[in-house]
Structure 1
């Protein structure tokens, strides 16, 4: 059976782990609190910011998915977790590095600095203007220069179960100016997981993967459009004193390359994704 280590087995990693376990893969989940790993996942108790190799690190694996979550935007933390953490994991592979079939490194569309509504693809310039975005670019460089087959997956804003901030802002009457339009990109958590799973299955089938993929849904949308739609679904009134947007930048990310590989999002736009979330909330 294929053997995979998911380093940083949090929300996205755990959902991916569960899917792979159901497929019969041997899945190792690395995180500090292994008690929170899904059933069937083999634990690796470790801190990615520590250089010492974990005692329960497997001798040989076929795939590595590097997908930790910092939890806050802090350049120093990003450097320790995403750059040094990946360097640590690659070092832990030791001689097993030569047998690694593929590395998937989860990154972010935040590496792009475009802010005038431009369409962005994998071939667009990635010149992050934020300190954290620059660190993510450095982490991508570590992955792509690691000496093993590697792909970077740049995910847009992930929403889904437990990620309801925009819903709550809309419920509180958030208003966003329509002009100039502030284009936003997103992906439902389950579609982000589905893309990672799809790429692993492609690699297992000996398909050649590209060095970079954008993980976004089919429809970049202006933030005011999304918030107005959410307020309508919630029956909420606009409130001039309500929450305000702190988002910066404006770009439209294309998922054409991911779709060409055979992946399709379950939630092609914010409408399908948030409709499902709102329905789940009513049932709970």
Structure 2
């Protein structure tokens, strides 16, 4: 059997980690981003601006077996989200159609922002999606573009991604970050390496002929109240001072389940924030 090929559109942090994992499994990997000089070694680069409807000159002449749409909005407003997730995806699907190419499957990386639950409810892939903000609404719109395309698609709704370079909470804790304890503000997390690992697992599962669902939530095993995470990090870091004011009262509070991904056989490398943050602070991953 020849080596499978994948095109990762938006080959940044998570996309780059995915590329490295797939290369280690002998996949042929192409990556599309504005600056291809930042792609991992060995990834075939496709320089493109997703806001431009014209097909990039470096677009592959042979259809990739798989397509992963894993972009990050460079402009964090409604126009920026529409350009990155809705219009950009439509452009890529248009380029496939223009070239007569049909990948075996599309993985569209979405977000748990499509869920508006905020009272600590448990959420899974069947839960109502009634987002109140533009980010969630546009993610839902982009999900429908993916699911209604000519390419079989699965949506992967990632939760709060953390990892090296994504250390906002660690910085806040070191400054004496205070958070609300009652009612508990539940948060959902996934280490960047596990986010990439879930995508790699789904691609390999499809290649093996296993049936994929149309949606998966990417989250670790242990959604936890923010005050609990902060308390653990304070003890781990040896922080004793408190800031004078409570910093935030986050509006979102829900607990996302990973049972569907788990039932397929995926196992997170970092099952909770404790293992994940310990690895970061030890300089691993």
Which range, TM-score by smaller chain?
A: over 0.9
List alignment gaps of at least 5 residues for structure 1. Answer: none
Spell out, residue by residue over 1:16-59, the C-alpha distance to the aligned partner (whole angstroms, 9 max, x if none).
Answer: 11111222211110000000111110010001111010111112
Please name the residue that 2:20 is paired with. 18
List alignment gaps of at least 5 residues for structure 2. Answer: none
Q: CA deviation at 1:158?
A: 0.3
Instruction: Name the SS of the counterpart of 1:196 in structure 2.
Output: helix
Q: CA deviation at 1:147?
A: 2.1
Please name the residue that 2:73 is paired with. 70
Pairing of 1:98-177 with structure 2 (within 5 A): 99-177=102-180
Spell out, residue by residue over 1:93-114, the C-alpha distance to the aligned partner (whole angstroms, 9 max, x if none).
Answer: 1266663100000000011000
Pairing of 1:203-282 with structure 2 (within 5 A): 203-241=206-244, 244-245=247-248, 247-280=250-283
Please name the residue that 1:190 is paired with. 193
The answer (yes or no) to whether the contact 2:180–2:249 under 8 Å persists in 1 is no
Q: Greater shift after overlay, 20-29 or 195-204?
A: 20-29
Question: Aligned-residue CA RMSD in angstroms?
Answer: 1.6
TM (normalized to structure 1)?
A: 0.96
The answer (yes or no) to whether the contact 2:96–2:102 under 8 Å persists in 1 is no
Spell out, residue by residue over 1:163-213, the C-alpha distance to the aligned partner (whole angstroms, 9 max, x if none).
Answer: 111001001000112101010000000100100000000111111110000
Instruction: Name the SS of the counterpart of 1:280 in structure 2.
Output: coil
Pairing of 1:33-112 with structure 2 (within 5 A): 33-59=35-61, 60-71=63-74, 73-94=76-97, 99-112=102-115
Q: CA deviation at 1:279?
A: 1.2
Q: What is the alpha-carbon distance in structure 2 between the residues aligned to residue 268 and residue 90 of structure 1?
A: 35
Instruction: Name the SS of the counterpart of 1:43 in structure 2.
Output: strand
The answer (yes or no) to whether the contact 1:3–1:62 under 8 Å persists in 2 is yes
Q: Number of aligned pairs?
A: 282
The answer (yes or no) to whether the contact 1:174–1:244 under 8 Å persists in 2 is yes
Q: Greater shift after overlay, 95-104 or 83-92?
A: 95-104
Spell out, residue by residue over 1:98-142, the C-alpha distance to the aligned partner (whole angstroms, 9 max, x if none).
Answer: 631000000000110000100000000011110111001100010
